[in-house]
Each structure stands twice: as C-alpha cells, then as structure tokens.
Amino acid sequence: MAEIRATTAELFSRTVNRLPHFPVSSLRPTQERTLTILLQGQDCLAILPTGAGKSLIYSIFPYLLMEMEPEMKYYCLVISPLKALIADQVKAFRDQGLSCVGLLPKEEMPDGDLEGFCQGEYNLVISSPEALLDDGELGMQYEHCLKKLNICLITYDEAHVIREW
C-alpha cells in the first residue's frame, strides 16, 4: 500500500470533493482515528455508539485508498445480520453517490446488480451471513465473485443483534 502522504482529514477532504452527493464534509475524531489506523494497514476493532458514524468509516475507506492509489480498485465487504437493513443501506449509499450492492436472494436483487457485482462495479458489498454461507448455486456464485475482488476491509455491522457467537 502506498505511503500515507497526507493526513487522514486532508485525504478525506480530497475524496469527498470527488463525491458530489456525499453528505459529510469533515470527520469526527473517532472516525479520523479509526481511518488513520486502517490506512496504516493495521487491524482495527471499532466499537462506537449509535450515531457515531460507523457506516461512514467503512463506506469511505475504499475510496480513500483509491484516492491514494488511483490505478487500483478497492472493495469493502459489509456483513449485516438484518436483511431489511441491507436494502435500506444500499439505497442510502447509492443516494450518496457511492457504488453499492446488496447480496440478496436473486429475485430480490435489482436487474443488473448481480452481473455488476461479479464484474467489480460496486465498491461496497453488503451481505447477510446466510448469503455468504449459502452452499447453493447463488452462494457459490457470490463466493466466486468475491474472490476476484481486492477486498480492503471486512466489517460486521449491527453486531449487537447476533444471538450467538
């Protein structure tokens, strides 16, 4: 990974200038610290309260890396235990100008999303654990396509709803 030449805040500012619909123009201190750790290539466990901006961290991270290394394409895999939340998150991220796809049952995916996912068109990939563990044809297709992506971050969202670890 390229050397971090700018501060995280400067890098964030340059990145969001390229995303005209992104709703946030500056980072909170916990977001900046977390992104700095990730940009340094370190593992990170961020446990933040509701409303602290966790989704900003994982949604912007691949874009920060691509700002640093424009010749590369990076992807974030978000595992979400709530199927209803996946569709809402995909819509919200797309409304912000981010390329995002939700790995859902085939009949629930919008036309072209599965093909676009397999072609690497979406920097944010949101999936339920069940979709990733499905041993049927669709699950195998998801696995095959994920293996082709340069995944820079895997995050588990809404971990508090997990019943058993």
61-90 per-residue burial string, b: 16 or more CB within 10 A, e: under 16? bbbbbbbbeeeeebbbbbbbbeeebbbebb
What the block records as the tokens of 61 is: 């991270």
Segments forming the whole domain that contains residue 142: 8-161
Q: What pLDDT, on the 0 to 100 scale, is given for residue 120?
A: 96
Q: What pLDDT, on the 0 to 100 scale, is given for residue 149?
A: 97
Position 2 in a domain: no
Residue 39: what are its φ and ψ, rounded to 5°? Answer: -65, -25
**pLDDT digits 0-9 by tens, 58-100:** 999 999 999 999 999 999 999 998 888 899 999 999 999 999 9
Bigger pLDDT: 129 or 101? Answer: 101
**What is the residue-averaged pLDDT of the chain?**
90
Position 123 in a domain: yes
Instruction: Count structural domains, the chain.
Output: 1
Position 1 in a domain: no
DSSP 107: G
Identify any residues that bridge with 153 across adjacent strands, giving them in sequence order: 76
Write the CATH number for 110: 3.40.50.300
Judged against a pLDDT cut of 80, whether residue 161 lies above it is answered with no
Q: Give the mean model confidence (pLDDT) for residues 34-49.
A: 93
Q: Give the mean model confidence (pLDDT) for residues 28-51.
A: 93
Q: What pLDDT, on the 0 to 100 scale, is given for residue 94?
A: 95
Position 21 in a domain: yes
Judged against a pLDDT cut of 50, whether residue 3 lies above it is answered with no
Position 31 in a domain: yes
Bigger pLDDT: 12 or 105? Answer: 12
Position 135 in a domain: yes
Bigger pLDDT: 33 or 108? Answer: 33
Please tell me the number of Cα atoms within 13 Å of 67 on its side-chain side. 22
Q: What band does 140 get if pLDDT is binned at 50, 70 and 90?
A: very high
